[in-house]
Homo-oligomer: A and B are copies of this chain.
Amino acid sequence: MDRFQGKLGIRRGVGPHPVLSSLLYEPGIEQDQAVALPWLLKIDAAHLVMLARSGILPAATVARLLSVHREISARLDKGLPAFEVPAGHRGLYFVYEQHSIERLGGEVGGAAHVARSRNDINAASTRLRLRTHLLAFLDHAAALLDAALGLGEAHAATLMSAFTHMQPAQPATLGHYLAGISAELLRSTERLDAFWEDVNRSPLGAAAGMGTTFPIDRELTASLLGFDAVVDNSLDAVASRDFVVHVLSALAMLGVTLTRLAADLQTWGSNAYGFLSWPDELVSTSSIMPQKRNAFVLENVRGLAVRPTGALAAVLATLKGTPFSNSVEVGTEAVSHLWPAVAGCESAVRLTELMLRGVEVDSERMRDFLARAATTMTALADHLVARHDLPFRSAHEAVARLLQRLSPEEREAPEAILPALREIVEEISGRALPLSREEISRALDPEACAWAAAYGGGPSPEVVREQLARLRGRLGHLAGRQAERRQRLAAADVRLRQAVDEFSGG
């Protein structure tokens, strides 16, 4: 009979200094019981099954160790605390192992911790947790893209001024804008999607970074946990957290695109533009200004979407200059910035989707704005080039002079433009311009102009619809990969459950 009675993680009977307990261990374990414990149990189960199958531990020992899981799960299901947390403890793992020893005695309870360490468990837990968030995030991103593409499809032919430098530029469509910005969002989403394979690798078996002399089967552990592969080198397995940086990078870029979208929505939804509005359930009023309908959600979006940017700076600075080995700085401190950033960015994605699905587009006001904004002047110059063989620079100059000579009202009247333009072209190019009023009317028509911009990826509705269809296609592939992942993870869950049942039953 084993008479081991040490308190785990305690040297020579000396527990942690009270300040350490109050600043590190106590705040840590609350979080850990809520969030990390379920992952720990899952990892433990897979490890125990593997140890038994590899002949490292007897099946009976494993069966008894697994019985503690069942007890803990039962307690959690009833809303009870998993186990008592003794004062002066050294963190979740030791508390958990201590609990096993108390329940089962040292002979059995103290047998599980072979061929592993808290280091590879911690790395595995981070990966499992991030994997879960990633899977959900990709679904939300896909839903946002679905909303954006849907809105783009509905407004592929909704005329709107394009802007550069915040000034009206040329006629375009709302659908063209949405296809453009969706492309950037989709690229970041696909980046994130590509990082899945980096995240979903098992570090288990690496122990403290130097592997083990026990003949473990780490592929089995990985397979029971739904990992796609193992991390080859044991030091890499516990020392690296590059996947955290890669994921945050893609989120940061995706988030920044959301801030750009939100900024445009804010501008176009502002009173002076009036292109967009939202129903009451998506705006707020003021506590003192009764007329207010604030699209404040876009401000939350802008703020939340920046979270990965801040987290990225924090993680990179934390990783910088650390030894390449397991360390608290890397595995705990750096990683702590990940979760609020992922959650914040997910909220930004969901709120943006909500605002796109709920937006009301005032296409009449967009068309009126266009009519008064001289956005077809490039088209007029292009017409002089294409049909009247002027060199572009002369045509551009001619239109520029035209704008100087005519009043704002005259600029919209072909009968005022015709003689003035003839005169100017004669001045610049020495040519008589055989231009008709009908040509001018056509050149100045924003709709005709946008419809003709069918080259170079422009806003012509047919072109935009093709762009949107291609984006939809890529979105479909993403959905396919997500479905496959879910299927693989479910299959692994079944394998693990069956294996556990097999041992517990024996």
Contact = CB atoms under 8 A, between A and B. Distances in A.
A207 B464 CA distance: 16
A458 B218 CA distance: 12
Interface stretch (A35-43, A69-77, A255-263): A255-263
Nearest to A399: B290
Contact of A391 (B111, B234, B256, B379): B111
Given A113-B393, A270-B166, A347-B23, A303 B328 contact: yes
B337 A310 contact: yes
A311 interface: yes
A470 to B, nearest CB: 6
Nearest to A316: B309
A327 interface: yes
A452 B213 CA distance: 5
Given A242-B187, A457-B231, A114 B392 contact: yes
B17 A281 contact: yes
Contact of A12 (B269, B273, B402, B404): B404
Interface string A434-464: 0000000000000001101111111110011
Contacts of A432: none
Contact of A333 (B9, B215, B303): B303
Contact of A181 (B113, B208, B236): B236
Interface in A350-370: 350-351, 354, 358, 369
A329 to B, nearest CB: 4
Number of copies of this protein chain within its complex = 4
A382 interface: yes
Contact of A236 (B3, B184, B250, B290): B184
Given A111-B392, A183-B240, A377-B289, A302 B321 contact: yes
A209 interface: yes
A17 B354 contact: yes
A53 interface: no
Contacts of A225: none
B246 A191 contact: yes
B403 A290 contact: yes
Contacts of A324: 177, 180-181, 184, 257, 260-261, 263-264
B260 A107 contact: no
Given A2-B429, A337-B310, A428-B4, A118 B166 contact: no
Interface string A100-133: 0100001111111111111110000000000000
Contact of A119 (B24, B164, B267): B164
Nearest to A171: B210
